Amino acid sequence: MNKRIDRNLRSVVVLAEAYEREAEGPMRNILLVEPDYKTKFPPLGLMKLSSYHKNLGDKVTFIKGIRHEAAYEFWDRIYVTTLFTYHWKVTVETIKYYKYLVRGDLSRIFVGGILASLLSDDLWRETGIPPVKGVLNRPGLLGDDNYIVDEMVPDYHLFNNSANKYSLLDSYFGYSTRGCVHRCPFCGVHILEPRFLEYKSIKPYVKEIDRLYGPKQHLVFLDNNILASKRFAQMIRDVLDLGFEKGAKYNNRLRFVDFNQGVDARLLNRTHLSLLSQIAVNPLRIAFDSIRDKDRYVEKVRLAAQYGVRDLSNYILYNFRDTPEDFWQRLKINIDLNKELGLSIYSFPMRFIPLNAKDRGFIFEPEWNWQFLRNVQRILNVTKGIVMAGEDFFNRAFGASEKEFRMILHMPEPILMNRGRTPKKEEEDWIRKFNKLTDAQKKELLNILCENRTRNKLSAAVSRVKSSKLRNLLDYYLPHRGCSGTRSFFDFDETREF
């Protein structure tokens, strides 16, 4: 760890501590840290901690990642938030850096959040700091006071001096329920929020945000299974009372209500949709985690259309007990429903990563492999992670059939990323050669691509291939080969909405 710290850091920390507690009054110096992983959502937990400490009269500073200037101040407390377990490396490095700043006084550093709750024992062993697990939903967890941190209004001013920009800061975002009634094997909610809280009115929370920070444009619910509450009708009345009826505007702009974690298709019924149709829900997110849910999912989308809910979205889980064909079918179902019902459904494919994974390397083999997952990600990177409603674009991006999609998953990156509205010569040549391979040769092709992920390794592997037919096809994957045509299939008119 010391190799990662500036040479002068030790003396700087000692100097900072020499000035500690000489300041006037009881104000404490609080540092809130989010590790330097990419995320568009603001750290709600840190925003609530900021409000908690400001209510106590403390000074609060937010930092993203490791910032060496933090060593020039004495911090009474340092809080490090954590997010997904696959951010393990950067999270541990960040915690260890700020642990050094407290000079062994572990009473001054707190680590919490999702990773800290799911991998608490591992994180404790790695950093020497016992994590704060779960939600801060009781008084006295951080000090001798009656504040419940989870019920605090978030501090929207926390990031005023930060170069890091987050979305949702023009929205009210919070909860009316906590937890979930299910224990899905791919989800950690039952660990993070083990007790289902039926209802808590969001109205006082929103009104306090109005008082402190002014009105916001949109309303975002982060509830994990809001339809499981028997008081859903009351929640909708709260939303209507707050001015988010269907067609509502603020500053001459339409307002939206977003149940960001999605609604449970297993629970969604006519009563729910009758209520949802009264508010400015956009989009209505419905999970489509498995092709086995096809009939139920299609039924609920048709029902939504009957109630005038026409803007929908869903999370498409893949790499979890599925096949590429299953994944393609679910995407295609949305394309077909859009066309048939005149809806606007867009999909967010989400690659499954186990709850205890410390990187993104998990592959659900043998159905998926590195090459297939890589090509799905290559497409999604350009579309900003979204699969929109256009049929022509979908057919070029993901294929017009399951067989074509599987072929696309084999494609070399230069051809994959430079397809136009119609195939150009190089793509046609590759397709012709690919279709001439036997099943055994296609399997060998995948083995070579998956086992040789760097250019040098791949070049060396290609030189050892005995089959001239396979070696000729592999030549398309090598970096020396150009790609004809300058227009990408992502230049379609349909992509303007991205």
pLDDT tens track for 103-143? 999 999 999 999 999 999 999 999 999 999 999 999 999 99
Percent of the chain with pLDDT over 70: 91
Cβ atoms of residues 352 and 359 within 8 Å: no
Residue 160 lies in a domain: no
User: How far apart are alpha carbons 40 and 167 in whole angstroms?
Assistant: 6
Say what the pLDDT of residue 164 is: 87
Mean pLDDT over 90-107 rounds to 98
Assigned domain for 415 exists: no
User: How many folded domains does the chain comprise?
Assistant: 3
Query: Does position 40 have pLDDT exceeding 60, yes or no?
Result: yes
Q: Does the pLDDT of residue 498 top 70, yes or no?
A: no
Res 384: pLDDT: 87
Tell me what the mean pLDDT of segment 51-74 comes to: 97
Same-domain status, 93 and 235: no
| 322 token code pair | 């599925």
pLDDT of 485 above 70:
no
Residues 144 and 175 in one domain: no
Asked if residue 408 belongs to a domain, the reply is: no
Q: Residue 199 corresponds to which amino acid?
A: Y
Query: Tokens standing for 415?
Result: 């051809």
Could you tell me the residue range of the domain that residue 354 belongs to? 171-402
> Each residue of 250-305: pLDDT tens digit?
999 999 999 999 999 999 999 999 999 999 999 999 989 999 999 999 999 999 99
The CATH number of the domain holding residue 200 is 3.30.750.210
17 has pLDDT over 50: no
Query: For residue 480, what pLDDT is reported?
Result: 67
Indicate whether 270 and 396 sit together in one domain.
Answer: yes
- Sequence letter at residue 9: L
Task: Give the pLDDT of residue 481.
Answer: 56
Q: Which of 21-35, 44-58, 119-133, 140-154 has the lowest mean pLDDT?
A: 21-35
Residues 92, 216 share a domain: no
Q: Is the pLDDT of residue 177 over 90?
A: yes
Q: What is the pLDDT of residue 479?
A: 79
Using CB atoms within 10 A of its CB, is residue 113 exposed (0-12), middle (13-18) or buried (19+)?
A: buried
Is residue 342 very low, low, confident or very high in pLDDT (cuts 50, 70, 90)?
A: very high
Looking at residue 22, its pLDDT comes to: 41
- Helix residue ranges, H only, 402-438: 402-410, 413-416, 425-435
Task: Please choose, from the candidates 285, 328, 34, the residue with its C-alpha nearest in 3D space to the C-alpha of residue 159.
Answer: 34
- pLDDT score of 421: 85
410, part of any domain: no
Model confidence band, residue 165 (pLDDT cutoffs 50, 70, 90): confident
The pTM score is 0.89
Indicate if 307 and 181 belong to the same structural domain: yes
**Residues 333, 364: one domain?**
yes
User: Is the pLDDT confidence value at 87 over 80?
Assistant: yes
CA–CA dist 119, 91 (Å, integer): 12
Q: Residue 32, SS3?
A: strand
Shared domain check, 147 and 191: no
Q: Give start and end residues of each alpha helix (H) in 222-342.
A: 232-241, 270-276, 294-306, 324-341
395, part of any domain? yes
In this model, does residue 3 exceed pLDDT 80?
no
DSSP state of 479: T
DSSP summary character for residue 3: G
Domain presence at residue 269:
yes
Residues 41 and 117 in one domain: yes
Q: Is 158 within the bounds of a domain?
A: no
The average pLDDT across 415-429 equals 92
Element (DSSP H or E) covering residue 449: helix 439-451
Kindly give, in sequence order, each residue whose CB lies less than 8 Å from that of residue 299, ignoring residues fewer than 6 positions away: none
Query: Is there a single domain that holds both residue 330 and residue 242?
Result: yes
Q: Of 122, 151, 180, which marks where a domain is finished?
A: 151
Same structural domain, 373 and 334: yes
- CATH number reported for the structural domain that contains residue 6 in this entry: 3.40.50.280
CA dist., res. 360 & res. 458, Å (int): 22
Distance in angstroms (rounded) separating the CA atoms of residues 456 and 96: 35
| pLDDT tens string 397-413 | 999 999 999 999 999 99
Which one of 90, 121, 151 terminates a domain?
Answer: 151
pLDDT of the residue at 382:
85
Residues 269 and 334 reside in one and the same domain: yes
- What does the pLDDT average to over 322-332? 98
pLDDT above 70 (res 151): yes
What pLDDT, on the 0 to 100 scale, is given for residue 495?
32
CB-based contact 346:313 (threshold 8 Å): yes
Last residue of a domain, one of 402, 436, 456: 402
Average of per-residue pLDDT across 78-87: 98
Same domain, yes or no, for 135 and 202?
Answer: no
Give pLDDT tens digits for 343-378: 999 999 999 999 999 999 999 999 999 999 999 999
In a domain, 254, yes or no: yes
Q: Is the pLDDT assigned to residue 458 strictly greater than 80?
A: yes
Indicate if the pLDDT at residue 60 is higher than 80: yes
